[in-house]
Chains A and B, each alone.
Chain A
Amino acid sequence: MEKLSVKDLRRIKDRSSIACSIRNNEEKDTKVIVHMGTCGIASGAQEVMRVLRERVEQEGLDVVLDEAGCIGICEREPIVSLVRKGEPVVRYAAVSPEAVLEIVESHLMGGKVVQELLLSNGSINGVRKAGLRSSETLVVPATLPEEPLADLEEVDFFVPQQRITRKNCGAINPYRIDEYIAMDGWSALARALTEMTPEQVIEEIQRSGLRGRGGAGFPTGVKWQYCRQAPGSVKYLICNADEGDPGAFMDRAQLEGDPQSILEGMAIAAYAIGAGQGIVYVRMEYPLAVELISHAIDQARAYGLLGSDIFGRGFDFDMEVMIGAGAFVCGEETALIHSVQGQRGVPRPKPPFPAMSGLYGKPTVINNVETLATVPTIIRNGADWYAAVGSEKSKGTKIFSLAGRIVNNGLVEVEMGTPMKKIIYDIGGGVPEGGTFKAVQCGGPSGGCVPARHLDTPIDYESLTALGAIMGSGGLVVMDDKSCMVDTARFFLEFVQEESCGQCTPGREGTGLMLDILTRITEGKGVEGDIKELEKLGNIIKKTALCGLGQTAPNPVLSTIRHFRDEYEAHIREKRCPALVCRKLVQYSIDPDTCNGCTACARACPASCISGEKKEVHVIDPTSCIHCGTCYDVCTFDAVLRT
């Protein structure tokens, strides 16, 4: 394939803009898109596509079948979008193979929208139970490629969002570079190479106020400048796609939905720092992301957008994919470097920072996926445009993943400084019926919780740190009154303990000591002074651990003590778990008035400690009960009581 010039880029853009926009397409007037991110596929999108293709072929319908990444509302996958010339874009949610038959017959063949399958406000369960009111349906005009997903603004989940980095996700087919080019893709690199010096690119990123989206929020432009100024002719750029923080999946969605944006950001960064070689380090738990980013690299290379003398400007840059073999600590940059070198992924003390001495001892910049995917939009639209969005010290937008006890699970991109309340309630729809919001865990095992009384706080790097949490990668896990904060702290410490590389004593032994105390508390063996001991250990570990993982490991404990001390005290003093989560503190019994002797609990009990004849009241023997809760789960008459 011939190398692309800037002129060619424009030609492809014009050509594929027309191909993408079905409105202008002369040949076919209907396009059906199945959204096939990992969440879509896990919900059955492939089967939906198979049935759809089969039906369309059987009926000989003249429609284009296509796929795209996740639009962000993972909760309601599989989602199918139907674009028809001169008609509004229609999005169907939670589509089953049977529903496909209905969509084909009613909409594709009969021209009639299937109302009860439309993506609408409220949870899927709510929709199924309550049925749909017509005022909630989503029918809006088809969009031009320049404004992808503008139609989504009708749904509550999308209204408060500002999609800059995720603009293309769910709108383009991630397997086709031409569609990315149609969305102005690779024009930012063209601009950087033809109109800007590397110093000007760094200056532009610095002025935009972009900060690292992977954790600590270090200014991206400053990092680039350190590396540019570091002596040496060989430099490296690494994209950290080792998204190990449990509860965060924005990087996966970007890799799967818009891989070219990451490659373009990397090429711009490489030009700025003077790197000729790039590495994308992706975790092996993300097979689809690995496939898509590898495919994207091949396509970019075929167009000459990677390789030598890019755009004829004498800039050489190429990259390869490295697959992380499964170790949380590899998200730490020095550990990641060791892993890329084929060694055990253990961190080392800093300084020297990787910008001075990184991969094979050469100056190296390591940026996170979201950071790099944002870079092209800044170069395209200018630093002022980007800096106009956000709060005083945190510019632009941030992508959060919303999971846990919340109605709308998915990915949201909002302006920095947006109050947490807006994310949880306006976008997330609050906690599911029957629960009360308790806290949201922000920043994973290195972060902390934000309780209900602080929900009005505008979210940025500084405000979260002040609350004892961190921005981290932006994973938000919502907890309600059914979540025990002490057990949550134990959960995170267990995680860190397992993932500790074992090099430094605070990280290896200190976290172990804290875990022992927490385990004791959740088993009803807590003693006075435990809270103080946890705080003491936590503060020592924060100051003395070798790497960022160790230094932040006590955060979930310290923040739950800070905001939920009463729960710790209930466990220690009253041997009581208010959320009824800590198993050894929960007693099970059967209400003789409600039990109808269906025998379901007795049959399910793994300890065989429930006795009773058919159609007679059953009894649990507390001495042999193992507190597993199975009887509570299987009883359909609410006759099993927990106290």
Chain B
Amino acid sequence: MDSSSTETTQAGGAEFPPEKIRELDDRIKKVRNKTGATIRAMSAAQEIFGYLPREAMMRIAGGLGVPPVDIYGIASFYSYFITMPPARHQIVSCQGTACYVRGGDRVLEKLERSLEIKTGETTPGGEFSIQAVRCMGACALAPVVRIDSDIYSRVSQRRVKGLLSRYSKKDPGDR
């Protein structure tokens, strides 16, 4: 099935360069006959674009012959899928039981206060976002915070500012 004629009004723009769209189409073709093709294709799209743009979801729906509403339903069901562009530094605060018992909730609060955003939001310049997850399985090191792919263990409220400053200084090309 080909959906390109109707659903790619924005395709080819700055965010959707043709090579990325071609890559997505290739990946859709590769997973078409595999178990769980929809989720595989959506993961591929998120890998390519960093999130799931509406256009990518429509393309997957077309490519796999699945109603777009199903794709959107899956995207909203699983916490892994995001439909907005991600921040440059993604902060993930663990709120599992062990982290809760050792004060993970206060660490999260401190993060929110320091960045002046709530969990699930992104700072206005797009520098940081905060997410809460339920257990990363590193309970012995609770409370745990992950920033991008770095894991920090035994985080206290006091360490929060220092951790953030390590990242806010990176990326000199920030807007």
**A: which residues have CB within 8 A of B?**
38-39, 41-43, 74-75, 77, 243-249, 252, 279, 284-286, 320, 322-323, 325-328, 339-345, 359, 401-405, 409-410, 441, 444, 475, 477-479, 483, 488, 491-492, 495, 498-499, 501, 606, 628-630, 633-634
Contact = CB atoms under 8 A, between A and B. Distances in A.
Interface string B71-109: 001100111110000000000000111101110001001
B125 to A, nearest CB: 22
B163 interface: no
A631 to B, nearest CB: 11
B137 A328 contact: no
B122 interface: no
Given A42-B144, A339-B39, A340-B36, A404 B74 contact: no
Interface of B: 34-40, 42-43, 70, 73-74, 77-81, 95-98, 100-102, 106, 109-110, 113, 133-142, 144, 151-153, 156-158
Contacts of B97: 246-247, 403-404, 441, 444, 475, 477, 491-492
A314 B150 CA distance: 46
Contacts of A499: 134
Contacts of B137: 38, 243, 248-249, 252, 285-286
A479 B134 contact: no
Contacts of A77: 140-141
Given A42-B144, A42-B153, A491 B100 contact: yes
The list of the 8 closest CB pairs from A to B, nearest first, reads A246-B96, A74-B140, A409-B140, A325-B78, A246-B135, A342-B36, A403-B139, A403-B98
B132 to A, nearest CB: 9
Contacts of A43: 141, 153
A5 B33 CA distance: 33
Nearest to A38: B138
Nearest to B139: A403
Residue of B43, B95, B135, B153 contacting most chain A CB atoms (<10 Å): B135
Contacts of B95: 246
Contacts of B152: 42
A405 B110 CA distance: 22
B130 to A, nearest CB: 16
Nearest to B37: A342
B106 A629 contact: yes
Nearest to A42: B151
Contacts of B138: 38-39, 42, 74, 249
Given A42-B152, A325-B39, 10 more contacts: A248-B139, A252-B137, A326-B78, A342-B39, A404-B98, A475-B139, A477-B139, A491-B100, A498-B134, A629-B106
A207 B152 CA distance: 45
Nearest to A253: B137
A402 B139 CA distance: 8
Contacts of B98: 246-247, 403-404, 409, 477
Contacts of A325: 39, 42-43, 74, 78-81
13 contacts: A74-B139, A244-B134, A246-B97, A249-B139, A327-B79, A342-B38, A403-B98, A404-B97, A405-B101, A410-B140, A477-B97, A501-B77, A630-B110
A343 B96 CA distance: 26
A279 B43 contact: no
Contact of B140 (A39, A284, A343, A501): A39
A86 B134 CA distance: 46
A247 B104 CA distance: 13
Contact of B142 (A323, A403, A629): A403
B139 A409 contact: yes
Contacts of B40: 342
Nearest to A606: B113
Contacts of B78: 325-327, 345
Contacts of A245: 135
A341 B36 contact: yes
Contacts of A327: 77-79
A285 B132 CA distance: 12
A577 B81 CA distance: 39
B39 A75 contact: no
A629 B107 CA distance: 12
A404 to B, nearest CB: 4
A75 B36 contact: no
Residue of B97, B136, B144, B156 contacting most chain A CB atoms (<10 Å): B97
A634 B159 CA distance: 11
Residue of B40, B101, B151 contacting most chain A CB atoms (<10 Å): B101
B102 to A, nearest CB: 7
Contacts of B144: 42
A610 to B, nearest CB: 16
